[in-house]
Each structure stands twice: as structure tokens, then as C-alpha cells.
Structure 1
């Protein structure tokens, strides 16, 4: 089951904390876990392996944006959510907290000038980042609600995620969009989302970089909404519900 979700490339990559020296207890476990995963499929990319909050369980962060848990011997693997009982907060989802933190760390490298931003006229009460494909029907439906979101004080920041990759028609359109002058990008986004054409342009744009970022944070389809706390919400969300999810009462 896990292979369909976790395979991302052809090399095993260990970075971040990396594999520690095999002479230490932690290093031995990390090596064993990595070796077992590579035996099962060399295409699995590993970002880091480190002890989890649960004693005796290791956390395996994957380049695809997923997370596995393993025993120190690399014999048992679990794909799922790890919770901790907290007397005040109830059940705390440790898996989601780790993934949220990783998404925010990756997203922090994005230059604000590379996003296409739709701001409210007044106070910005909340922000949502949207990985979008201009040819995606539900992306177009969400874009129709951007005026409502802006009216509620929600800023919408767009990043490119052409689902078909760099050889797709959507990629070419979004390349032209991001190559346009900054003051033309809002209008261009709306035109493309309405099925209209814009001038064909070519430049060194951030479209492919944003597409790769989307894959790293776990985007598998569009639209995908990244919340300020790092939570990733897949799919179209109506304006009123989105406002509530961001802690705003619809007006």
C-alpha cells in the first residue's frame, strides 16, 4: 500500500540529520531502517530518520512529503498518524504537527514576489496559499470566490502547480503568466481561469520550482490550500467554510 504513495525518484537520499555514525546506537538504527527501505524499493527518497516522540519508534521523513514510523531494527513499518494523550488538549496529532512544521520550513524559502497575490481592499485578517492549475475546473471554481474571500479579509496567494508537469499545456500558460509584468499577473490569472488566452511569453520563471515545492509539501492535486499553520487542505473549499477554517466568521 505504501509504495504507491511514497515512490518519488530513482535514488535513496539521506540528508537533514543524515545517517549518524554506525558506532552509535541511533546510527545503527538509522542505517538498518534505511537499508531495509532500500531493499524494498530503491526509489524511496528519505529526507531524515530520527527518534520519534514515542520511545522505541523512529520517524522516517520522506521527500514526497509523507512520514513513516519504524522499529529500530527496520523490520516493522507503520504509515499512519501518531497521537499523544494530553490531559489538557486531549489527543494531539504528532504526525500532523511534524508535517506542518516541515511544510512551513519549505515554504519559508518562497519569495513573496514570486506569488500572485489577491489582497483585500481593507485589513488582511487571514491568508491562504493556493497551489493552482489554471486549467483545473475546481481551481477555476475557487477563483470565482476570490472576491468573496477578499471581502471577508482573506488574502489569496497563488503558487503554480501545473498537474501535468513542464510539458503540459497548463505549464506553458502559467509560464507566460509568471513571465508577465507583476501588475499584469492578477488580470492574466483571471483570464486564464476564465478560459481566455494571454500573450505567450518565455523567461526564467519560478513555475517549475513552485511545482517541485508543491510535491515536496505533499500536493497531489489542485487546488491545494496551505494554511498559515502549515496544514495542507486538498480540494475546493467554499468561501464561507474556508473563512470558518481560518477562524473568521462569514459576514
Structure 2
């Protein structure tokens, strides 16, 4: 059962507390170190706690394991799994932290493993992880047909079916990768079988990349500011997201 904890803090106090929580370069306090030492062995063999941070909520501590977070008390006796929301505004503090933790440094992405397409001036840039057998990825391809002035880097992330990697390799080995991908995703036209001479495919490297970034489903859209949106969005939502990026 997932737990939601509703809290209300004065705006100034909350802003100061959250600012401290999101400053990842701060040294771990002795109390945080003590909680980490207590909670880690209680999570099972091989589980490594990356960070413990005291929160402004009810004396709880945020525990981060990879890209997941949960909460515990100072004695590490109880675990709270769920979301913390402001009772008056419904602001989701847990989601904000998850978004912060999952940010990607866009310039570090190995874009040579992706297909590149440019529409208009291409100033707005995204990377998207897609599987050739993903229905929502095909819907998102239609979304991309409705927007202009965008550069799209597509990582073929083959996680849904045994033949996903085969289809992706056929696309990768085609003379025009981007057209071949759109032909399949938008029109259902299968790419030609890859020639025997085409021995390269980024499949394994893209799988490793996606796993390292915590990409668990397709489509997953990564924006130039490092934020991400998992799942399908329509053109209106995509334009709104672009407008929100400073």
C-alpha cells in the first residue's frame, strides 16, 4: 500500500527547507550519517543507500537508493513509501525531488548512438527513448509531426519484444535511418532486412545507457535542461514544456 503524507508549512520556511534539501553538494551531517548506517543493513543484502537527507517534514529523513526515494524516522525503525503533498496546494514535494534526482546532463548523452532529425531551425532539442513495438511511441511520433523548430535524437531502446532489436537493426542499417523509422512508426511500413555487411548496431550500448539513466519505459523524453517526461504527451503538452524551459 502506498502512503501519502499531507503536510502544510509556511511558504518562507518551506522554501528555505527545500532549498537545503535540493543542494546535493552539502556535506552529510552526523545525524544523517547515523540514519544511513542504521537503515542500510535493514534493506537487504546488496542494497546501497546513496544518500540520507533530513527533510522539513515531521522529522523524517529522505533515503535515496539509486533514483528511488523513501522516508524513515531518526531511529530508522519505520519506512514510509509514498508521496508527501502540501495539504492546501496539493504541491507534490516527492515528485519534485524525484524530478531533480532523475535529471540528465544532456551534453553527456552519447548522441552518436541516436538517430537525428531536424525540423525548421531545430533550436528546441529533445532526446527520446523509443521501442519499435511501442504503441505510445508511435502516437508520440505523430505528436512530433505537429511541432516545428525541433531537433530530435531518437535512441532505439529495445525492451518490449524479442523482435524489437531486429527491427531497430534493420532501421539502423538502412540508407535513411530517420525516414525508415518514421515509415515504420507512422505508416507501419517494415524496414528492409539489414544487409549481411551491416554488422554494427547500438542496441547493447543503448540498453546500458537507458538502464544507467533509469529509463524503465517508452517513450521517455529528455529535454535540454535535463528534465524528463516518461510516457506519451500530445503537441499542446510538448509546446507547454518547451515554453517552460528557460
1:158 has 2:154 as partner: yes
Instruction: Compare CA radii of gyration and give the structure with the larger one.
Output: 2
1:190 has 2:189 as partner: no
**DSSP-derived class of the 2:62 partner:** strand
Give me the whole-angstrom Cα distance separating, in 2, the residues matched to 1:95 and 1:212.
Answer: 27
Distance of aligned partners of 1:137 and 1:25 in 2 relative to their CA distance in 1, 3 Å threshold: closer
**DSSP-derived class of the 1:104 partner:** coil
1:99 is aligned to 98
Please state how far the C-alpha of 1:247 moved relative to its aligned partner: 1.6
Please state how far the C-alpha of 1:33 moved relative to its aligned partner: 0.8
1:36 has 2:42 as partner: yes
Distance of aligned partners of 1:243 and 1:202 in 2 relative to their CA distance in 1, 3 Å threshold: same
Please state how far the C-alpha of 1:169 moved relative to its aligned partner: 0.9
1:211 has 2:207 as partner: yes
Equivalent of 2:231, from 230, 235, 245? 235
Q: What are the within-5 Å matches in structure 2 for residues 122-201 of structure 1? A: 122-124=121-123, 126-149=124-147, 151=148, 153-164=149-160, 168-178=162-172, 180=173, 184-193=176-185, 194-200=188-194, 201=198
Distance of aligned partners of 1:208 and 1:154 in 2 relative to their CA distance in 1, 3 Å threshold: same
Give me the whole-angstrom Cα distance separating, in 1, the residues matched to 2:122 and 2:216.
Answer: 32
Please, which runs of 5 or more residues in structure 1 have no aligned partner? 3-15
Post-superposition Cα deviations, 1:48-73, rounded to whole Å, max 9, x if no partner, equal 1221443743322233x321122232
Give me the whole-angstrom Cα distance separating, in 1, the residues matched to 2:129 and 2:76.
Answer: 35
1:60 has 2:58 as partner: no
Equivalent of 1:224, from 215, 220, 227? 220
Please state how far the C-alpha of 1:82 moved relative to its aligned partner: 4.1
Please, which runs of 5 or more residues in structure 2 have no aligned partner? 3-23
Aligned residues: 215
**DSSP-derived class of the 1:155 partner:** strand
Does the Cα contact within 8 Å between 2:122 and 2:151 map onto a contact in 1?
A: no
Does the Cα contact within 8 Å between 2:184 and 2:190 map onto a contact in 1?
A: yes
Give me the whole-angstrom Cα distance separating, in 2, the residues matched to 1:84 and 1:229.
Answer: 26
Give me the TM-score of the superposition, normalised by structure 2: 0.69
Does the Cα contact within 8 Å between 2:133 and 2:164 map onto a contact in 1?
A: yes
